[in-house]
Amino acid sequence: MNKALQKFFILERDDLDTLFSALKDAGFDVVGPTLGEGAIVYDSIGTAEDLPIGWTEEQEGGAYRLKRRDDRACFGFTVGPHSWKKYLHPPSRRLWSAANGEDGFEVMPEAPETSRYAFIGVRSCEIHAIRIQDRVFLQDRYVNEDYRARREGCFIVAVQCAQAANTCFCVSMNTGPRADEGFDLALTEMIEGDAHRFLVEMGSDVGEEILGKIPVKPASPEDLRAGERIVAATEKQMGRTLDTQGVRELLANNQDHSRWDQVASRCLSCANCTMVCPTCFCTTVEDVTDITGDHAERWQRWDSCFTMDFSYLHGGSVRASTRSRYRQWLTHKLSSWVDQFESSGCVGCGRCITWCPVAIDLTEEVSAIRSSAEQTGSPPEDKGHDHEKS
Ligand code: SF4
Ligand code: SF4
């Protein structure tokens, strides 16, 4: 067999459940896209029937609507308000608890996470977002052990995007739409007339083991070409573009640009953009006690640079104005993130555009600053600013 073909197989749609069963038999908690809360969200998946079969969505700045498709595609949509960080870096997590006993307070550390997740339907931009969080939590001075426990055992089933949303710009960020690596298996959904099949690409040894348990057959060169055509068509559908050329320097040099005042007059400081962003990772810590005072707990919760408390130091908030908070968010994503983590903090998923209640669009903000750059900051040295294409 042609060597390039040895990694590609065909799985019939009717056999999709065998993939989920094989993952469950191997001990994974299978999670993936499903209908919920008026959107496509990530939750536990029992069988293929739990997927949003025959549904898609329409996205625009500040707008998201579910819509029926005219076929029974299982993955015929893009990304919703959830991202995989909800499993790898959960919105709230107890760090420890303490109980008052005969010998005084005893502090009990939280038991380590033992779930092994299989993520179904991970898009290329999301694989890049997971990599960014890997860099933050695992590859710096301090390793987040909880993240490590969740991340190390997880199995990734990617899905090659067969359509882009109006808010997508992964092509600009070099993060998609094709998932090239970082997955165990990658599916391309192919529907032609009555034929409904998946082209399956093997991406790891664990992926190969799972493939060995499901009824696949080798893909043909024409199957590969059909898969490539699907992703190539998606590439041309991007609803947004972001010119990343020199964006790190552009934002760093324009810290007093009048555009920050304009965007601040619309921004509600609601923090939606940071909650839906798959790379944002900031948290706060809260201590709680019960009414008796005999039981106390410390919780970690997602926080946002848009809240007043986030930058509170003794005496007040460092970023007291909405202008300074929006500027902090955007310049961190596209500029100072590069200094911190050697890549952009944005993967072009478009969630922050869709879920902003007043339709603030970072691609529009960057373009406005670019078109009337006022050069009000001090110029930093030149560095790269987007993601390396694998
Ligand atoms: S900044 Fe917006 S487009 Fe970029 S990764 Fe975050 S949510 Fe997606
Ligand atoms: S940019 Fe939009 S989503 Fe983000 S804090 Fe402002 S109003 Fe909320």
Please report whether residue 255 resides in a domain: yes
- Assess if residue 73 is contained within a domain: yes
User: What is the 267 CA–ligand 2 centroid distance (Å)?
Assistant: 5
Q: What is the pLDDT of residue 5?
A: 64
3-state helix, strand, coil in the chain (%, to 5): 35, 25, 40
On whether residue 379 sits in a domain, the answer given is no
Helix (H/G/I), strand (E/B), else coil: 158 = strand
C-alpha 247/C-alpha 369 separation (Å) is 10
Query: Residue 380 domain-assigned?
Result: no
List average pLDDT for each run of 10 residues in the chain, which is 390 residues long. Answer: 77 98 98 97 97 98 98 98 97 96 91 92 98 96 94 96 98 98 98 96 97 96 97 97 97 96 98 98 96 94 94 89 97 97 97 98 97 64 45
- Residue of minimum CA distance from atom 8 in ligand 1: 349
269 and 333 housed in the same domain: yes
Tokens standing for residue 166: 């109006």
Q: Which ligand has the minimum distance to the alpha carbon of residue 348? A: 1
| Residue 119 and residue 61 share a domain | yes
Q: Tell whether pTM > 0.75.
A: yes
- 384 lies in some domain: no
| Predicted pLDDT of residue 9 | 98
Same domain for 209 and 310, yes or no, is: no
Q: Which ligand is nearest to the CA of 126?
A: 1
Containing structural domain, residue 357: 247-371
Distances (CA, A) of 12 to 54, 158, 196, 298, 309: 17, 17, 7, 48, 52
Q: Are residues 314 and 346 in the same domain?
A: yes
> Does some domain include residue 275?
yes
State which of 235, 270, 295 marks the end of a domain.
235
38, 147: one domain: yes
Ligand 1 atom showing the smallest separation from residue 353 Cα: 2
Which atom of ligand 2 lies nearest, measured to the CA of 325? 5
Ligand at shortest distance from the CA of 304: 2
Q: How far apart are CA 237 and CA 167, in angstroms?
A: 10
Rounded distance from Cα 180 to ligand 2 centre (Å): 32
Check whether residue 61 and residue 186 sit in a common domain: yes
382 Cα–ligand 1 center, Å: 23
Residue ranges lining ligand 2, Cβ < 6 Å: 267-273, 306, 356-358, 360
How many Å lie between the centroid of ligand 2 and the Cα of residue 88? 24
C-alpha distances (whole Å) from 73 to each of 15, 53, 197, 296, 334 are 14, 6, 10, 48, 35
Do 277 and 223 share a structural domain?
no
Name the closest-CA residue to atom 3, ligand 2: 356
Question: Helices in the chain by DSSP H: which ranges?
Answer: 16-25, 85-88, 124-138, 145-152, 170-173, 205-211, 221-235, 247-252, 259-266, 272-276, 322-331, 337-341, 351-354, 362-371
Q: How far apart are CA 128 and CA 279, in angstroms?
A: 9
Q: Are residues 263 and 200 in the same domain?
A: no
Same domain, 170 and 263: no
Q: Single out the residue in 235, 266, 289 at which a domain terminates.
A: 235
Q: Hey, whose CA ends up nearest to atom 2 of ligand 1? A: 352
- Measured from CB, residues less than 6 Å from any atom of ligand 1 are 276-279, 333, 346-352, 362
How distant is the alpha carbon of residue 106 from its chain centre?
A: 38
User: Tokens in use for 170?
Assistant: 């992964």
| Alpha helix stretches (DSSP H) within 14-105 | 16-25, 85-88
Q: Whole-angstrom Cα distance, residue 299 to residue 353?
A: 30
Q: Are 230 and 190 in contact (CB under 8 A)?
A: yes
- Which of 212, 235, 258 is at the close of a domain? 235
Is the domain of 164 the same as that of 206?
Answer: yes
How many domains is the chain partitioned into structurally? 2
Whether residue 388 lies inside any domain: the answer is no
Task: Please choose, from the candidates 53, 41, 42, 43, the residue with its C-alpha nearest in 3D space to the C-alpha of residue 16.
Answer: 53
One DSSP character per residue, 105-138 reads EEEEEPPPP---EEEEEE-HHHHHHHHHHHHHHH
Read off the tokens for 172: 């600009």
Q: State the pLDDT at residue 375.
A: 60
Q: What is the pLDDT of residue 374?
A: 62
What is d(CA 303, CA 280) in angstroms, rounded to the nearest whole number?
9
Contact in structure between 122 and 160 (CB atoms under 8 Å): no
pLDDT at 385: 45
Among 282, 310, 360, residue to substitute to test ligand 2 (most atoms within 8 Å of Cβ):
360
Are 153 and 70 found together in one domain? yes
Q: 259-266 vs 362-371: helix axis angle to the nearest 10?
A: 150
Let me know: does 202 contact 95? Beta carbons within 8 Å. Answer: no
Strand partners, 317: 312
What phi and psi, each to the nearest 5 degrees, are found at residue 197? -140, 170
Tell me the residue length of the chain.
Answer: 390
* Residue 141 in domain: yes
Same domain flag for 45 and 152: yes
pLDDT at 377: 54
